[in-house]
Amino acid sequence: MGRPAIDIAEPVKPARAFAKDTAIRSVRATIVDAPTRRRHKLSNTEVTHQGYVLVRILLDNGVSGIGEASTLGGPRWAEESVESIHAAVMNYLAPALQGQSALYFEANAIRMSKAASRNFAAKGAVESALLDAAGKTLGLPASALLGGAVRERMEVIWALASGDSGQELEEAREKLRHREHRQFKIKFGFNRPQADLIRLQALRSGLGDDVRLIVDVNQGWTESECIRFMPALEELDVALVEQPVSALQLEAMARVARRSSIPLLVDEAAFAKEEIARAASMGCGSVYSLKLVKSGGLFEMKRAAAVAAAHGLELYGGCLLESSIGAAAHLAAFATLPRLEWGTEHFGPRILVEDLVTNPIRFDEFEICVPDGPGLGVEIDEDKVRAYARKE
């Protein structure tokens, strides 16, 4: 006879003793609308305010943790909106975790999975808050709880997404001048392909050949448009093309990848580990974009990275315009990965008019620095949150 399964609601006695005073007393969620410095355009929307759900978890020991879920213009980039995230957290995830120890990360992830299917952004925000509270309790950075950091900083990419080539060229030159960014991701898909290519040509001519350019089509092209216009991207020495066709058209993306000498970055086409394996096996791309909003948790995002790497995909640290709170959570996991070939694009804190923390993440010499304080290493700015919190 096999050994009986251990009920996740009843950890063994030594574990119960270790988890003393780390029970989850309360979970709260707040919707925040933070203004951005400029319009940020995608193929299907544009934002001037970035929507977040801030999750706060209070433990019996009095320690609190903060996590963040990010969206882009509502349920357009993915299924979740700030309103649905708030409802999922308060009505389903919070009751499932009430009274449980914050230290049992895997057991809590199972509880959340039983309480709500997918809802990845909501789960990711809750788990980030749990790691923040646990790290503060133990006096350890979140990266230590995720396996230990192998890097303290990483190259950071800036996105150009206003659609105005003159404005974007000046923006990029300023980033270069201040040694903040030397790699740029150009958002495509909200104009006709010919117009986007003219814009890209202006940026390449103005920035020179030494600057690495990435193009994000945001599912904005058809396969036939890829056949027609990808050669022009090759001529302009584009280093990477992100999700050129619909996320639902894996076969089309695989055919585009076979035709292209530029590697494709798989983003919206794969969220869960099984989806990553399928997209990689079909040859949909050579690089995978890691995002907490796609994985539903920091531990699960590390597993997503392992699946992608096992299928030969290089790794790219994606973002969804997070503040320093969400960026810190991502960086805690990115810091522990054995490989992160393309660095990260966590520029979100710098596109906000005002960040949501008192100690924003530090950028230095074209790199972003991993916070080294306990938990996520950032402290919420209560005044900013009150100012931007959505009124009931």
The alpha helices in 313-369, defined as continuous H runs, are: 324-334, 348-351
Residue 348 is encoded by which pair of tokens? 């979100």
For residues 147 and 154, give the distance between their C-alpha atoms in angstroms, rounded to a whole number. Answer: 18
Q: Which position among 80, 345, 367, 384 bears the catalytic label?
A: 345
**Helices 273-281 and 298-310 sit at what angle, rounded to 10 degrees?**
20
Q: Which residue has the tokens 């009505």?
A: 91
The DSSP secondary-structure symbol of 60 reads T
Produce one character per residue of 358-387: b if its CB has 16 or more CB atoms within 10 Å, e if not: eebbebeebbbbbbebbbbbbebbeebbee
- What is the edge-to-edge ordering of all strands in the sheet holding 24-41? 24-41, 46-59, 64-70
Q: How far is CA 219 from CA 161, 189, 321, 377, 389, in A?
A: 15, 7, 18, 35, 31
Is 187 in the active site?
yes
Contact status, residue 232 vs residue 261, Cβ threshold 8 Å? no
For residues 59 and 279, give the distance between their C-alpha atoms in angstroms, rounded to a whole number. Answer: 40
Is 345 in the active site?
yes
For residues 187 and 141, give the distance between their C-alpha atoms in angstroms, rounded to a whole number. Answer: 34
**Helices 120-138 and 324-334 sit at what angle, rounded to 10 degrees?**
80
The letter for the amino acid at 98 is Q
For residues 208 and 116, give the distance between their C-alpha atoms in angstroms, rounded to a whole number. Answer: 49
Q: Which position among 123, 136, 175, 187 bears the catalytic label?
A: 187
Q: How open is the CA angle 348-308-320, to the nearest 5 degrees?
A: 15
Q: How far is CA 180 from CA 172, 283, 327, 357, in A?
A: 10, 34, 16, 20
Beta bridge mates, 158: 184
Residue 129 is encoded by which pair of tokens? 């808050």
For residues 63 and 132, give the distance between their C-alpha atoms in angstroms, rounded to a whole number. Answer: 9
Catalytic positions are 187, 345
